[in-house]
Amino acid sequence: MVCKLVYNSEMKQQAAFDLLIRHLDRVAPEPGDRVPSERDLSVALGCSRATLRLALARLERDGEVWRHVGQGTFRGARPRHLPLRDTLLIEGATPLDLMEARLVLEPAVAAAAARGATAHDVAFLTARADAGRKGLDRSACEQADDAFHRSIAQVAGNPVLIGLLTYLSGTRRRAAWQRHWDRVYRRLGVNEFRNEHSDQHRDIVAAIAARDERGAAAAMALHLETILQAVRLRDP
C-alpha cells in the first residue's frame, strides 16, 4: 500500500510538472518573462500549491526558472554576467531607486528646457503646474505631477529624454511603489501636494521662463529632494 501511495504521488508530481512546462511555454516563453503567481498557476493547472511548488523547485534546479525574492519568478536561467532586460530592472527598482535616478536626470532635463523654451512652452508648463494645485485627491495629484515632469522633457525637445522619463514614470504603477506612496500620502495629505509641491513646480517654470538653466536645475533638484525626504521617512 505504501509503495502504491508513493507511486501515485510521484505520478501526480510528474503530471503537474509536465502541465507546468506546457503552460509556461504559452504564457512565459522567453527568458526574462515573468511567471504567473503561484495562486494563478495552481488554478490554471488544477493542482495544489504544495504540488506546484515541488514542480517549480524542479524547474529552478533545471535552470528553467529563477526567483527574485520580493519580485517574483522569471523564465530562464538566473542572470549572471549578461545585462538584465529593462523590464526586470524596473521590477527590481525600489521607490528610493526611482527618486535617486530622477535626481540624476531631471535637473539636467529642466536646464535643457530652459535653453530653448518659447512663450508657448512656458504657458504649457504653467497650465500643467496649475493642474496639480487643483487636484481633488491623490490620484488626480499624481497624474498631474507625472504629466508636469514629462512635459518638461517635451519642452526640452529631446526624444531620448522623453523616453527615459516615460520609462521611469512606469515604476509608479508598480505595486511596491503604490504601497510605499500610500503611506507617504497618508502622512502628508493632499494639501502638501496642492501647496508646497505646486509652489515648487511654479518655481521650476519661472526659472525656465527666465532661460535660467542653473536656476531651473536647482529648482528641480530642490523639488525632488523634498519628495525624496518624504519617501525616506518611515511611518511613526
Q: Which residue has the cell 517549480?
A: 56
Residues 109 and 62 in one domain: no
What's the pLDDT score for residue 104?
92
Which residue intervals of 33-158 are DSSP H helices? 38-45, 49-61, 86-92, 95-116, 119-133, 138-156
Q: Which residue has the cell 508648463?
A: 125
Q: What is the mean pLDDT of each run of 10 residues along the chain (236 residues)?
A: 46 83 88 85 89 89 79 76 51 72 92 94 94 78 84 90 77 60 64 79 96 97 88 59
Q: Identify the domain boundary among 80, 110, 139.
A: 80
What's the pLDDT score for residue 90?
56
In the numeric block, which cell numbers belong to residue 41?
498557476
What's the pLDDT score for residue 117?
94
Give the span between the Cα atoms of 96 and 169, in whole angstroms: 13
Give the span between the Cα atoms of 134 and 65, in whole angstroms: 47
Residue type, 169: S
Domain membership flag for residue 87: no
Residues 150 and 171 in one domain: yes
What's the pLDDT score for residue 113?
96
Range of the domain at 108: 93-232
What's the pLDDT score for residue 186?
63
What's the pLDDT score for residue 1?
41
Residues 110 and 218 in one domain: yes
Closest CA to 40 of 58, 25, 52: 52
What's the pLDDT score for residue 34?
84
